[in-house]
């Protein structure tokens, strides 16, 4: 595990079960140090978080002489039952900081896996006999694989009740790379459709649409902004920028700041004054506006694709668009969002 065992190691930091080392990558590693019935115990839990270490401490106290942080074949079977699923989902929500939408989907996929596995011990599953047959013909295959792999990873790395040898997904089961849906059909909202739907929306929903059209935010970010966002002044010098909308970026822990025009800034302020925006009702309102305007319906989730495409087709540098949308790389923008953008024409011979 890369832990230092030299006597010069500083053990100044302690926890309920013993002391804390730091491994070669600088991570905390929790070590149990106890005196039980005259016998001294010092064993690494291999855990790098206090929560996981406390789980290991419980296992150690049950049977100190046979404690093994990686788990062993003689231990009790592990079933994908309701308590285990609930514990995993709580970790997904509270520690992994996944959105409530994804956690709810994970819950559904866990229920599906529980039904497929029919109470079998997770330690004894095999790829060929249990997992691949269950996936045969299943929809959303990639998501089902991703959830199962995450459960096994959580059992190994967080709870430390499973070894790599007991994980049938480790190094053998990969999440298939699906061809992005937007490669098959454009998800860009035509400008004229945006303006037509705009006219048939109530003011509150119109403000939401304007903020999305001016920021390229996900709908979840828009909802979060309306509930707990803020406005900041723009401290630079740039034409067309009136201020900055700030959305609490819960998953990464870093707020998302987007420079906006006067119209978008005012729409954002009105959303903050109202204090909320319903994800479901917002989508239904836009669907109704499209119907009233006599145009094909579009969902608010398509604004991000539209902003990326509109910007690149107007001559914006893909790297600048990527930075504006808070993407790590222009490749993400091109691959998943501006898939139908036509680059600015360069001089040619004809």
**How much is the pLDDT for 92?**
94
Q: Is 298 exposed, middle or buried (CB count within 10 Å of its CB: 0-12, 13-18, 19+)?
A: buried
Residue 323 lies in a domain: yes
Quote the pTM value.
0.47
Q: Report how far residue 68's alpha carbon sits from residue 65's, in angstroms, rounded to the nearest whole number.
A: 9
Alpha-carbon dihedral angle through residues 320, 321, 324, 329, given to the nearest 10 degrees = -80
Question: Which tokens is 124 given?
Answer: 């004894």
The percentage of residues in the chain with a pLDDT greater than 90, rounded to a whole number, is 40
Per-residue pLDDT tens for 270-296? Answer: 999 999 999 999 999 999 999 999 999
**Mean pLDDT of the chain, nearest integer:** 83
Residue 7 lies in a domain: no
Contacts of 215 (CB under 8 A, 6+ apart): 221, 245, 258, 260, 264, 307
Per-residue pLDDT tens for 65-84? Answer: 778 777 654 467 899 999 99
Q: What is the mean pLDDT of residues 95-111?
A: 93
Residues 61 and 87 in one domain: no
Domain count, the chain: 3
Residue 159 lies in a domain: yes
Pair 79, 119: CB distance under 8 Å:
yes
* Residue 120: domain span: 82-166
**How much is the pLDDT for 320?**
77
What CATH number is associated with residue 254? 1.10.443.10
Per-residue pLDDT tens for 315-344? Answer: 777 777 777 877 665 555 555 444 444 444
Contacts of 320 (CB under 8 A, 6+ apart): 311
Residues 154 and 229 in one domain: no
Q: Report how far residue 186's alpha carbon sits from residue 326's, in angstroms, rounded to the nearest whole number.
A: 22
Residue 34 lies in a domain: yes
């Amino acid at each position: 595990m890369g832990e230092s065992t030299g006597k010069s190691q500083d053990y100044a930091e302690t926890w309920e079960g013993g002391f804390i080392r730091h491994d070669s990558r600088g991570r905390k590693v929790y070590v149990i140090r106890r005196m039980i019935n005259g016998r001294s115990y010092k064993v690494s839990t291999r855990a790098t978080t206090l929560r996981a270490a406390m789980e290991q401490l419980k296992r150690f106290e049950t049977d100190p002489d046979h404690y093994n942080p990686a788990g062993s074949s003689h231990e009790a079977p592990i079933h994908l039952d309701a308590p285990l699923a609930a514990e995993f989902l709580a970790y997904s929500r509270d520690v992994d900081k996944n959105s409530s939408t994804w956690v709810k989907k994970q819950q559904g996929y866990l229920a599906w896996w529980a039904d497929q596995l029919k109470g079998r011990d997770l330690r004894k599953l095999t790829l060929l006999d249990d997992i691949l047959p269950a996936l045969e013909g299943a929809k959303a295959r990639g998501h089902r694989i991703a959830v199962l792999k995450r459960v096994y990873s959580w059992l190994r790395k967080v709870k430390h009740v499973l070894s790599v040898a007991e994980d049938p997904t480790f190094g053998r089961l990969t999440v298939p790379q699906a061809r992005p849906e937007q490669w098959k059909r454009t998800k860009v909202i035509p400008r004229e459709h945006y303006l037509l739907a705009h006219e048939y929306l109530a003011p509150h929903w119109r403000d939401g649409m304007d903020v999305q059209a001016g920021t390229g935010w996900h709908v979840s970010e828009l909802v979060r902004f309306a509930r707990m966002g803020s406005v900041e002044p723009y401290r630079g010098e740039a034409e067309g920028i009136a201020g900055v909308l700030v959305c609490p970026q819960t998953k990464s822990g870093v707020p998302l700041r987007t420079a906006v025009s006067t119209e978008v800034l005012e729409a954002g302020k009105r959303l903050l004054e109202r204090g909320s925006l319903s994800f479901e009702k917002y989508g239904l309102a836009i669907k109704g506006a499209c119907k009233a305007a006599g145009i094909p319906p579009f969902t608010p989730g398509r604004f991000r694709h539209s902003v990326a495409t509109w910007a690149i087709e107007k001559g914006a540098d893909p790297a600048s668009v990527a930075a504006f949308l808070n993407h790590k790389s222009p490749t993400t923008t091109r691959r998943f969002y501006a898939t139908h953008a036509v680059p600015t024409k360069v001089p040619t011979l004809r």
